[in-house]
């Protein structure tokens, strides 16, 4: 497999593709180690190459190397919102996995990077989503809090009203205002009826509340829009496994998921494999 990958990269370079282009293509195919191997051939790395290295390390779970590469990228391009977003994500994972003495420092670095990223590019849904999660989960002394989450939801609404309703749903759910959260998710789906993720989110939420028939209807709507969408396959199966329902269908969905051409935006294959093992263990 590694030889095939190297030959493919070499063919691409011979056809005019740059090292970074080849590495980025491998990253998008979730071949993170191969992407790093290609980037290692460059002696003088650009900010873009260093960013891609940081992303690869992040996806491989090496958050220390990820932050190191991303800090080097940021030094070369200090106002790059995407570098800041990935740096915030990486420091956030370091905070989650660190000891109690170093975790707060990493958490603050995560928040600062995410805030700066959103300041530079408030339309980046991934960055605003990660910052919202931080505000909702982090205590006040680490810069979290509901007031900040609400202000961010207002900002999101200005560029993406449907996403703004989704953000408010997360806030309402955090406050245990479950009916209000459901209403926000429905309003998001109404505003963006062609976005499969809106119906997935609502289907998951209804299942969480034990309303499985309504949940199925939302997943069916999502399947009508995009029957082979990897997120739909994984999330629907995950809901079934969690509720110990439709396990045969869950197995089929997970097997389809593992055969799909996944990207870094999809849940890792390891998570799907873990769900399959859970089904096997309980059958």
- Tokens for 273, please give them: 């494999």
- 113: closest CA among 55, 57, 154, 70? 70
Range of the domain at 30: 1-44
Contacts of 88 (CB under 8 A, 6+ apart): 109, 110, 111, 112, 113, 114, 117, 127, 130, 131
Q: Tokens representing 243?
A: 């509720």
Given this model, what pLDDT does residue 281 score?
52
216 is written with which tokens?
A: 């199925």
Domain contains 182: no
Residue 183 lies in a domain: no
For the domain that residue 277 is a member of, what is the CATH number? 1.25.40
| Predicted model pTM | 0.91
Residue 123: CB partners within 8 Å, gap ≥ 6?
Answer: 159, 160
In a domain, 272, yes or no: yes
Give pLDDT tens digits along the chain (283 positions): 444 444 444 444 444 478 999 999 999 999 999 999 999 988 889 999 999 999 999 999 999 999 999 999 999 999 999 999 999 999 999 999 999 999 999 999 999 999 999 999 999 999 999 999 999 999 999 999 999 999 999 999 999 999 999 999 999 999 999 999 999 999 999 999 999 999 999 999 999 999 999 999 999 999 999 999 999 999 999 999 999 999 999 999 999 999 999 999 999 999 999 999 999 854 4
Give the torsion sign (CA, 86, 164, 152, 106). Answer: negative
Residue 2 in any domain: the answer is yes
Which among 75, 78, 22, 70 is positioned nearest to 50, based on CA atoms?
Answer: 70
Do residues 5 and 34 lie in contact, with contact meaning Cβ atoms separated by under 8 Å? yes
In-domain check, residue 19: yes
- The pLDDT of residue 1: 40
7 part of a folded domain: yes
Query: Quick check: is 78 in a domain?
Result: no
In the chain, the number of structural domains is 2
Is the residue at 34 inside a domain?
Answer: yes
């Amino acid at each position: 497999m590694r030889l095939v990958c190297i030959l493919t990269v070499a063919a691409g370079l011979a056809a005019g593709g740059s090292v970074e282009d080849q590495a980025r293509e491998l990253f998008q195919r979730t071949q993170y180690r191969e992407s790093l191997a290609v980037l290692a051939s460059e002696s003088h790395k650009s900010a873009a190459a260093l960013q891609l290295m940081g992303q690869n390390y992040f996806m491989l779970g090496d958050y220390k190397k990820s932050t190191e590469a991303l800090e080097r990228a940021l030094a070369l391009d200090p106002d790059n919102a995407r570098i800041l977003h990935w740096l915030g994500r990486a420091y956030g994972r370091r905070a989650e996995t660190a000891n109690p003495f170093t975790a707060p420092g990493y958490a603050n670095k995560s928040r600062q990077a995410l805030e700066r990223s959103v300041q530079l590019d408030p339309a980046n849904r991934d960055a605003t989503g990660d910052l919202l999660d931080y505000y909702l989960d982090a205590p006040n002394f680490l810069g979290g809090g509901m007031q900040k989450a609400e202000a961010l939801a207002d900002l999101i609404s200005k560029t993406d009203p449907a996403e703004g309703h989704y953000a408010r749903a997360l806030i309402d759910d955090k406050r245990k205002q479950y009916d209000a959260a459901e209403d926000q998710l429905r309003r998001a789906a109404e505003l963006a009826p062609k976005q499969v993720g809106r119906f997935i989110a609502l289907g998951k939420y209804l299942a969480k509340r034990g309303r499985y028939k309504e949940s199925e209807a939302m997943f069916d709507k999502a399947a009508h829009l995009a029957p082979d969408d990897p997120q739909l396959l994984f999330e629907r199966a995950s809901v079934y496994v969690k509720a110990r329902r439709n396990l045969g269908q869950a197995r089929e969905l997970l097997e389809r998921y593992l055969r799909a051409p996944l990207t870094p935006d999809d849940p890792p294959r390891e998570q799907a494999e873990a769900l399959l093992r859970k089904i096997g263990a309980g059958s």
